[in-house]
Structure formats: C-alpha cells, structure tokens
Amino acid sequence: MTQYHNLRFASTQVTLKSIPTLHFSQYKESKFKAKDPSEFIILDPESFTSESFKYIVGKAHIAQLRRMLKSTRISMELREKTLMEILDLPKFNPVVAWSLYCSLGTKNFKKLYKLFILVVNCKNIEILQEMIRLKEFDPSVNNNAAIRHATCAGYYDIVKLLVADPRTDPSADNNAVIRYACTYGHVNIVKLLLQDPRVSPSADNNAALRYASRNGFTEIVDLLLRDKRSDPSSDNNSSIRDAAKNSHIGVVKLLIADPRTNPAADSNSAIRDAAKNGNVEIVKLLLGVPAVDPAANNNFAIRMASRNGHYDVVKALLEDPRVDAAGDNNSAIIYACCSGHFDIVKLLVSVDRVDPSASNNICLIDACQKGFLEIAKFLLEDPRVDPAAESNGAIRGAARNGHLEVVKLLLSDGRVSPEAEDNSAIKMASFNGHYDVVQLLLTLESCNPGADRNAAIRLACHNGHHRVVELLLSHPSVNPADDNNASIKEAARNGHFKVVEILLADSRVNPAVESNYPFRYACSQGHVEIVKLLSKDSRIDPSADVNSGIVHASRNGYYKVVEYLMADERIDPSFENNQALVEAAGRGKLNVVKCLLKDRRVVDFGLTEAFNVANDNGFMETASAIKQYM
C-alpha cells in the first residue's frame, strides 16, 4: 500500500467510534453539506455491496472508499472492473482511480500507464510522484511518452524526476521533449533539458527554436540562441519569419541581433507579413536592417497594409524611398478603397505617383459598390477620377447594393448616366428590393423602368419585392404583362403571394398565360395559398394542360394542394389513367395517395398500375394503402 493511499484527511480528527455508522439507504439520504460526508459518517460494513461500492466511487467519497478497499467484501474483480470503467470516462477523479489501483493484488503496467496519462491531464502532481516511484512503472515505454506528456503539461517537478531516472531518455523521438517544452513555453523545463548532454536543441532542423519563435517565447529563444548548437537561420530563417508574422517583437529583436539570421530571407517575407498583420514596430525595426527590402514582391508590404487598414504601417513604409506606393498598377489605393480605409486613401493620394483613377477608375467603382460615401466624395473631388467609367459602373454598383446616399452623390455629377447599360441601375435595384433607390431613379427622366422588356418589374416579381412592384406599376412606362406575362409566372412559381395578388389586380396581366402556367407551377411547387388565389380567378382553368396541376402536386407530395384541388369540380383526379395517383405512388407520397383514394373516380378507374409502381419502388406502406381499395 503506498504512502498516498494511507493519507488521512486533516479534517478527520475524530475516532471511528464517535462517527455514526449508517446502513446504505441511510447513508445515501444523509444531509451532510460536506462534499465528502464519509469523513463524518461511516457506511455499515454489512452494506459493502457492488451497488454501494459503485455509488461511493461515483460520488468520490474518498474516506469511505478507503475503508471499503480494506475489506475483503469488495472483490478484486469488482475493483478492477470499476477501475477500467472510470478510466474510460471523459471526466474522472484521479484520487479514486489511484486508490483503486493501489488496492489491486496484482499490478498491471498497462492500467498504470493509462492512469498515469490521465492523471497528467488532471494535473495531480502528488499522485504522479508516487506513480513514478513504483517499481513496475517504466518511464521509457512508448518511446518515453511519460516525459513527453509531463512536458506538454508543464510539470517541472515530474520532468525533473523522470530525467533523473536512468531509464528515461529525454532525447527520444528526435528530441520531442525539448520541442514540446519550447512550443508550450515551459522555460524551466527548457533550462533543465539544456543541461542534459543527451538533449540536442538543434534536432529536427532546429524545431525547438522555430516553435519558440513562432509562439513568442522570448526567454526561451534567448536561452536557445546562447546555445551554439542552435541555428536561427535553419529552414530558410523561418524563426524570424514566423516571429514577425505573429507580432513577437521581442523575439524579432533577439533574432536580428544574431549575425546568423537573415531577416530578408524568403523574398523579405518577415517585413511583408509584419506589414500585412499591422505590426508597425516590427516593420520599423526591419526597415532599419539594410538587407531588408520593403519593396519586395512588387511592393507587397504596402499593398497588404493598405488592404488591411494598417495606417501607421503604410505611413512608415511611405517614408522609405524604396517603396513605390503606385506599384502593381496602384494596388495599394485600390485595396484601401475597396476595404473602406478612408484615412489610408487620403494618405496615398497625397503621394504624387499614386493615381486614384487607375484600372479604369476601379477605386471609385469599388467604393460606391460597397457604400463608402466619404471615400466616394473624396475621389470625386479629384479631376483624374471619372464617375462614368466602365459604363457608369459606379452608379450601377451603388444602386445594385442599395446605397442610396452614394447614388444621390453620383447623380449630382453631370457626367453620370443612370440609364447606362440598358438601365442596369434600376433593374438591379429592383432585383434586390432597394425601394428607396428605385423610388429615386423613377424621378429621373433619363431612367426608363420599362427597358429590356420590363426587366425591372420582372426581377422584382422574381424575388418577391412587392413594395418595389407596386412602385414600378405606378410608372406609365412599366407593363407587367411584357415578355408573355413573365412577371406573374415568376412570382407564382417562386411562391410570392403578395406579388401575385398585386398583379392580378392589374387588368393588363393574364394569369392564364401559357395554358395556365402560373397556376400549374404554383401547384408543382406546393404554394397552396397562391393556388387558392389563382383558382378563384375566372380566367384560370385548374384542369388545364391535362390536369397537370394536380398531377405535379401529387408527384411532389404537396398534400394540401391536392386536397384543395380535389374539392374543385373542374378537376378530374383520375384523368390520364390515374396519372396523379401513379405519380404519387411511385414516389411514396403516402398522404397524397390516401387523399386521392377518397375519390370514387380514382378507385373506379383501376389501381393496378399505381399498386405495382409503389411495390416495385419499395414503398410497401403506400402499396398496402392502395391494396385496401382493390
């Protein structure tokens, strides 16, 4: 029995004779507020059963558990079984598990090792220390996994114990232990390991230094750099590249001070990543290194800093004469405009080389499209900028995305033509339901909302923007019946009830177009309210196109539509050899099949084909429902 197993709680200062002894049922019902009442009450040994044992284990009543484990009433088989069960739980009490293990007659290293790993994760150092001292514990198993786990968890005392054990090899698995210590920032463990001649900090291409640099552990990086076995230039100087990328300025300073480090490696990725991520101090630090070129990769640094809104970085880079703010066809200002970084836009425009009209005025087009009003105003003040570029792309993009104030701004410029691209502005505003923009454009004489076969109202109907539809119908040039009544066809097919209702009130609209297309598609898509609305219109024939309305609704399983249509005397559900029933049966639409079978015309016509297709397709419940009527 180990020392830990025999520990007594300090709070247990009374003799066993003064502690009440209770039967199991009484023990469970005891009202002690203590987390572990077994310090104040005792379970009657006569109640030592598998049931009470599992209860005590589950509740983690440690004092009572130890009493039970001293009893022969608790078999070794039960102890071992219980131990294995709790080791597989996502959460477990390490004291309970350790007490169980220590009580076993035969020690099992596999159980011990599994318990060791779990206790490491629970951070119970007292138990870990006892485990390591057991003669059956072998720390070198699984390629010295014990020290690796302890290192990852940062248990210095445990690592120290393991390193002192001659069976432990801290350099196992290509010096994984020091790599883990450096990765997780356990500086004391790193110091300990560096004192061991078996440990190589340069293993795995100097992974220890690379990981410490990447994660910003300055003290560890300093330790490793003082060890001449470490090489900061390994892996193409990834140490400084990763440190700069992750904004670890302390590490960057240390690495720059080491003559072996090349901060310009990998096409100056250190300064490129630092600029991209907005670390101005690291950028300034690197700019002070003659070997570093801030204009590398076609001025990537200033382009990415501009895109990501890092004003101070852009400003610092502009102070370096090697940086070309207009590089890559003025990408820096284009990115800044596209991302809405007004302060950077102003800063870049102040540079003579920068042209805000580059790439056919994409700066203004992007700013307007994304609704950056202040940037748009600023750019329009520059005589080089043309708001009519790209077929008036600026107003088309602003209208499409509903940026009313930007649209107003552009319309105040005489160069802008809102009717460009066959009135694309009002068409796209209608398509996306931007009521205020459509309303504004309709006030313009140059704008024709009926252009492109009345595309504006067709697109609004397609997406169900009923307020825009009403607005467009108020304009004399808009014809909702254009393109063979496409507006009501789109609205009915897509389930936009309010739009269909509005269109039906317009005498120009023919809802019976193309053999009652709107009605048929409303049926096929299951839009029952639209089906009801259309069927009440005298122009609609619900049996049109060989009763295709009920056939399509049946095929797609729209029970409510079928039920409604069955009540209409104009519809024959048995038409075309019971096609509606056959379609529903073949797809296993049981509710629809039952609904159709309520009509005598369907039953009288014959059910063999419907039964066969349901049976052949494996819809046995549907086939059974049909068979009842055969």
Helices 497-504, 528-535: inter-axial angle, 10-degree rounding: 10
| pLDDT score of 274 | 99
**pLDDT at residue 98 tops 90:** no
**pLDDT at residue 12 tops 60:** no
CATH code, residues 511-630: 1.25.40.20
| pLDDT score of 14 | 38
Per-residue pLDDT band for 18 (boundaries 50, 70, 90) equals: low
Mean pLDDT, residues 518-536 taken together: 98
Smallest CA-to-CA distance from 476 within 454, 460, 505, 501 is with 454
Per-residue pLDDT band for 32 (boundaries 50, 70, 90) equals: low
Q: By mean pLDDT, which of 146-160, 192-206, 209-223, 451-465 is the weakest?
A: 146-160
Phi, psi of 237 (to 5 degrees): 60, 40
Count each helix (H run) and each strand (E run) in the chain, helices first: 40, 2
pLDDT in tens, 265-310: 999 999 999 999 999 999 999 999 999 999 999 999 999 999 999 9
Mean pLDDT, residues 325-344 taken together: 98
DSSP characters over 302-356: HHHHHHTT-HHHHHHHHTSTT--TTHHHHHHHHHHHHHT-HHHHHHHHTSTT--T
pTM higher than 0.85: no
Q: Tell me the C-alpha distance between 559 and 554, whole Å.
A: 7
- Better-scored residue on pLDDT, 85 or 511: 511
Mean pLDDT, residues 608-626 taken together: 97
Per-residue pLDDT band for 369 (boundaries 50, 70, 90) equals: very high
Q: How many CA atoms lie within 13 A of 61 on its CB side?
A: 24
Q: Are 536 and 578 in contact (CB under 8 A)?
A: no
Mean pLDDT, residues 562-586 taken together: 95
* Local structure of residue 106 (DSSP, 8 states): S
| pLDDT score of 219 | 99
Q: By mean pLDDT, which of 98-107, 213-222, 324-333, 430-439 is the weakest?
A: 98-107
Sign of CA dihedral 78, 84, 89, 95: positive
**pLDDT at residue 383 tops 80:** yes
Mean pLDDT rounded to a whole number for the chain:
92
| pLDDT score of 109 | 66
| pLDDT score of 1 | 35
Mean pLDDT, residues 580-585 taken together: 97
Q: Are 562 and 552 in contact (CB under 8 A)?
A: no
- Better-scored residue on pLDDT, 48 or 253: 253
pLDDT in tens, 442-458: 999 999 999 999 999 99
pLDDT in tens, 216-225: 999 999 999 9
Mean pLDDT, residues 560-570 taken together: 96
Report the amino acid identity of residue 423: N
For the beta carbon of residue 11, count every other beta carbon within 10 angstroms.
11
Residues 6+ away with beta carbon under 8 Å from 496: 461, 463, 464, 466
| pLDDT score of 5 | 37
| pLDDT score of 16 | 46
Q: Are 206 and 230 in contact (CB under 8 A)?
A: yes
